[in-house]
Amino acid sequence: AIQLTQSPSSLSASVGDRVTITCRASQDLNNALAWYQQTPGRPPKLLIHAASTLEGGVPSRFSGSGSGTHFTLTISSLQPEDFTTYYCQQFYDFPLTFGGGTKVEIK
Amino acid sequence: QVQLQESGPGLVKPSQTLSLTCTVSVDPISSGNYFWGWIRQPPGKGLEWIGRIYTNGGANYNPSLKTRVTMSIDTSKSQFSLNLSSVTAADTAIYYCARETIWSGYDYWGQGALVTISS
């Protein structure tokens, strides 16, 4: 199975900060990677698919980049509602796998 | 707006079979280029992909669960289902059903159903 390693596993930041989360794959994914945001008690919300395509309705402060084995999710200016957990997921091969998650906390 | 809703027992005894159904608001469920999937999340932990099923009944399962998982779909009822046999406490989790735009991402999710495995 393809392993996805997210880093950091948690980070502390302030409102307005620029934050970058990394997802590294154990093999080439081309661009078959999605990013999700999950708030406690809620299902994940799809933010980005195909590594860099923003879902409709997702604020433009979110962006994704990368290809191959190295991907990033960037939040350009953290807002209060962004302090939660983020996951990457690969769609390149079975089984579809998720990264371990990154928790963004208020500094 | 597509809506999904999981239903099924919240408590299952060890060694028994966990059965959940997902009802989808879209009619017919067979339209469009979508898979219908199941993902689970143990309380306080990360996400695990269980598998997905297409409208023709073809399915892909996670090998880690493959010997215990069966999925089915009833397009006439806009429902798809998950059966997980021989459950143990390790199967205690929130089970989500979700729609996958093929190879792109799970764009619509149910609210999740907490299933506890306990005697």
In this predicted model, what pLDDT tens digit does every residue of B55-73 receive, in sequence order?
A: 999 999 999 998 999 999 9
| Chain B contact residues (CB < 8 Å to A) | 46-49, 52, 60-64, 96, 98, 101, 103-107, 109-112
B47 pLDDT tier (thresholds 50, 70, 90):
very high
Q: Is the pLDDT of residue B46 over 80?
A: yes
Q: Is the pLDDT of residue B41 over 80?
A: yes
d(CA A36, CA B109): 12
Q: What pLDDT is attached to residue B32?
A: 67
Contacts of A42 in chain B (CB under 8 A): 111
d(CA B92, CA B86): 12
Q: What pLDDT is attached to residue B50?
A: 98
Contacts of A43 in chain B (CB under 8 A): 96, 98, 109-112
Residue A81, helix vs strand vs coil: helix
Average pLDDT for runs of 10 along chain A of length 107: 98 97 97 97 97 97 97 98 98 96 96
Interface test with A, best of B49, B50, B52 (most A CBs within 10 A): B49
Among A32, A45, A98, the residue with its CB nearest the CB of B49 is A98
Q: Is the pLDDT of residue B26 over 90?
A: no
